[in-house]
Amino acid sequence: MAVPTPHGVPDHPTAPQFPPELAKVLRADLAAVADEVEEEVRRQVPEYARPADGTYRQNLRSGVVQALTLFVDHIADPRDDGGAIAATYYELGRGEALEGRSLDALQSALRVGGMRAWRLMGRTAEELGLDSTVVAGLGELAFRTVHEVAQAAASGYAEAQLRSSDELERRRGRLLDLLLEDGPVAPAAVQDLAHGARWPVPRTVAVVALAAAPDRR
């Protein structure tokens, strides 16, 4: 899936040169890093601090692992576009829209998680004796990875909102047609369409009849 380049990030940045063994070491630590990132997000983002909400926790874990995997994949091969992982975040954003939530919690989780991951993986790079330019390169890559997945989530969110808006207009059109039909209309049918159109059925209605405008042709 193609993900637009975020504002302020070059279309084709010069990929930092990372030692070949770095990706292997970081990938081996990925599960442990994911545990710490998940804990940090749950501590700082209230929407994800829901022990009883299995869906939120599952989405959080999946999102953390996918983002970390993309980060390490970029280290191993800067040419990897991460299409499959971007698609995962597209669906996460889409799901937030369909559930009627904003993207604020997901975006906050990405910022918090990205910072925590950079600190942990930067520390690993320092322990390997790598110089400061490599650590700085990891920070740049972490920033770019967060923007990639955030943009994918935003795209999925926007698409779901657009589809929801179009569907809502169609449902309201069908409700209007039903209300204007000649003859009696079943109350249950009105209630059903009104619910889908997000229109509360009033107890009473007033009908106003207007004279047709004269033909001025």
pLDDT at 105 over 80: yes
To which residue do tokens 């229109």 refer? 199
Is 123 part of a structural domain of the chain?
yes
Question: Given this model, what pLDDT does residue 10 score?
Answer: 44
Question: Given this model, what pLDDT does residue 193 score?
Answer: 81
Residue 66's domain spans which residues?
20-166
CATH of the domain at 158: 1.10.490
> Does the CA dihedral 56-57-61-62 come out positive or negative?
negative
Structure tokens at 8: 């302020």
Alpha carbons within 13 angstroms on the beta-carbon side of residue 131 total 3
Q: CB atoms < 10 A from the CB of 48, how many? A: 22
Confidence of residue 17 (pLDDT cuts 50, 70, 90): confident
Among candidate residues 64, 25, 215, 27, the one with its CA nearest the CA of residue 145: 64
Confidence of residue 185 (pLDDT cuts 50, 70, 90): confident
pLDDT at 96 over 90: no
Is 128 part of a structural domain of the chain?
yes
d(CA 33, CA 193): 49
Is 146 part of a structural domain of the chain?
yes
Is 95 part of a structural domain of the chain?
yes
To which residue do tokens 């953390």 refer? 64
Is 88 part of a structural domain of the chain?
yes
Global confidence as pTM: 0.66
Is 9 part of a structural domain of the chain?
no
Question: Given this model, what pLDDT does residue 117 score?
Answer: 92
pLDDT at 131 over 90: no
Among candidate residues 184, 215, 190, 189, the one with its CA nearest the CA of residue 203: 190
Highest mean pLDDT among 42-51, 109-118, 173-182: 109-118
Structure tokens at 145: 């990875």
> Does the CA dihedral 17-22-24-30 come out positive or negative?
negative
Is 206 part of a structural domain of the chain?
no
Is 97 part of a structural domain of the chain?
yes
Confidence of residue 55 (pLDDT cuts 50, 70, 90): confident
83: amino acid identity, one letter: G
Structure tokens at 111: 């910022």
Number of domains observed in the structure of the chain: 1
